[in-house]
Amino acid sequence: MTRKFWKRTEPLTRTEPDHTKPDHTELARLLPPPSAPPMPLDRQLLFEEHLLNEIRTHAPAPAPAATKRPVRRVLLIALPVTAAALTAVLAVGALTNGVGEPRTGAASVEAPVVPVEEGSALQLVSTVQQIAAAVSTQPTPEPKPGQYIYVKSKVSFLSFSHNGDTDESRTWVQPLHQREVWRTPDALKGWLDEPGYQAEGGITLDSDGPHSKPVNGQDVPGAPLRHSYDWLKAQPTDPDALLKVIYTTVSGPRDRDQQAFETIRAIVNEQLVPAQSAAALYRAAAKVPGVIVVQNSQDAVGRTGLALARLDVQNGERIELVFDRTTFTYLGSRGIQVKQVNDIKPGTVTERTAVLERAVVDAQKERPAPGTTA
């Protein structure tokens, strides 16, 4: 989900030019007041993918050397001003036409609004025991080196932008659309196909691909290497020990408990998780403070079930991990606004995902044969 990002286009001026010292007064005037925390890991990765695609397909041609025009300096600001947040702002600009509207071809629809069920922690332990017992016995294919983990999903996310020139805000929801990801077990190679939101035919997620470089242990674009299949398989299956490892992978000003919960969500959404690791992940999720059970939830394609959920008190959004109430299979996730923030009212479905297929294939862009998905 996209939080409130600010695009400010304004010249930086001083009464007396001084290129050796920063004008802190001018910068303070341009910075808007803090409002929203940085975005979750999985949404950050999505925006990085969009940004990379924009760099590849829409890079402007260099200006002729003989042409000299006054250049208007552009300041792009995201708060908090971190590398990840700045990446997100640039990606939002890539997805819009510069005035807070969706880019041509990226349609918008009205956000679904649903009743907000309160949820409770009373049945958390028993519910997680049932989920863990079910997933620990489910057969899971094991990818070999050189093979690819394939995940097909339906997704939709809420986007919000603000134009600093006109002071206009725009909120929209992506139509439900298909997303297919291929990644090697070590996450060093991959491919993403998301029609309407990436270049036609998809983009590479290879760690050594164009414009890719290591950033804090993860590749841009692509999944964090620490959350790859190989990484996950090497982690302890004791939930307490696994949760400690997960906490070491989160950082920044956001609530660490919320980050840990959303990290688990990011892993199970687009990864092939070994059975014992899946059981440990869900048991670990139940140990995160603030996690509750919501008895009635729904994934992006309308499949109903119960959910493990946690409210992000900083932005009023509750993230729900949805499970089939009979088989306890993980179906997908849902984000629902519980407290009003900006123009997002309670009950607004801020994001929806549904995992449709997981499989192991032999090559990028190869799709599994019918009946071979996990």
In a domain, 227, yes or no: yes
pTM: 0.72
Considering the domain architecture, whether residues 296 and 254 belong to the same structural domain is answered as yes
**Which SS3 state, helix, strand or coil, does residue 18 take?**
coil
Considering the domain architecture, whether residues 88 and 171 belong to the same structural domain is answered as no
In a domain, 140, yes or no: yes
- Measured CA to CA, the distance from residue 163 to residue 252 in angstroms comes to 26
Lowest-pLDDT range of 57-66, 201-210, 223-232, 364-373: 57-66
Q: What is the DSSP string of 306-374?
A: EEEEEEETTTTEEEEEEE-TTT--EEEEEEEE-S-BTTB-TTBEEEEEEEEEEEEESSTT--PPTT---
Q: Is the pLDDT of residue 80 over 50?
A: no
Lowest-pLDDT range of 139-148, 187-196, 203-212, 354-363: 203-212
- Measured CA to CA, the distance from residue 115 to residue 354 in angstroms comes to 20
CA nearest to 55, candidates 161, 191, 210: 210
Instruction: Give 3-state DSSP helix, strand, coil % of the chain, rounded to 5.
Output: 25, 30, 50
Considering the domain architecture, whether residues 159 and 271 belong to the same structural domain is answered as yes
Q: Is the pLDDT of residue 229 over 80?
A: yes
In a domain, 105, yes or no: no
Q: Is the pLDDT of residue 57 over 50?
A: no
What local confidence, expressed as pLDDT, does residue 263 receive?
A: 95
In a domain, 205, yes or no: yes
Task: Kindly indicate the confidence band of residue 373, based on its pLDDT and cuts at 50, 70 and 90.
Answer: confident
Counting the structural domains of the chain, the total is 2
CA nearest to 86, candidates 54, 49, 42, 39: 39
Considering the domain architecture, whether residues 247 and 344 belong to the same structural domain is answered as yes
Residue positions counted in the chain: 374
Considering the domain architecture, whether residues 192 and 248 belong to the same structural domain is answered as yes
Name the DSSP letter for residue 225: G
What mean pLDDT comes out for the span 144-159?
A: 94
Considering the domain architecture, whether residues 297 and 183 belong to the same structural domain is answered as yes
Considering the domain architecture, whether residues 86 and 197 belong to the same structural domain is answered as no
In a domain, 107, yes or no: no
Token pair in block for residue 294: 């919501």
What local confidence, expressed as pLDDT, does residue 313 receive?
A: 94
**Structural domain range at position 339:** 124-361
Q: Contact, 300 vs 154, CB < 8 A?
A: yes
Mean pLDDT of the chain: 76
What local confidence, expressed as pLDDT, does residue 167 receive?
A: 82
Task: Kindly indicate the confidence band of residue 372, based on its pLDDT and cuts at 50, 70 and 90.
Answer: confident
Considering the domain architecture, whether residues 205 and 286 belong to the same structural domain is answered as yes
Considering the domain architecture, whether residues 50 and 137 belong to the same structural domain is answered as no
Considering the domain architecture, whether residues 189 and 279 belong to the same structural domain is answered as yes
Considering the domain architecture, whether residues 87 and 128 belong to the same structural domain is answered as no
> What pLDDT, in 10s, does the model give residues 109-124?
888 999 999 999 999 9
In a domain, 286, yes or no: yes
In a domain, 24, yes or no: yes
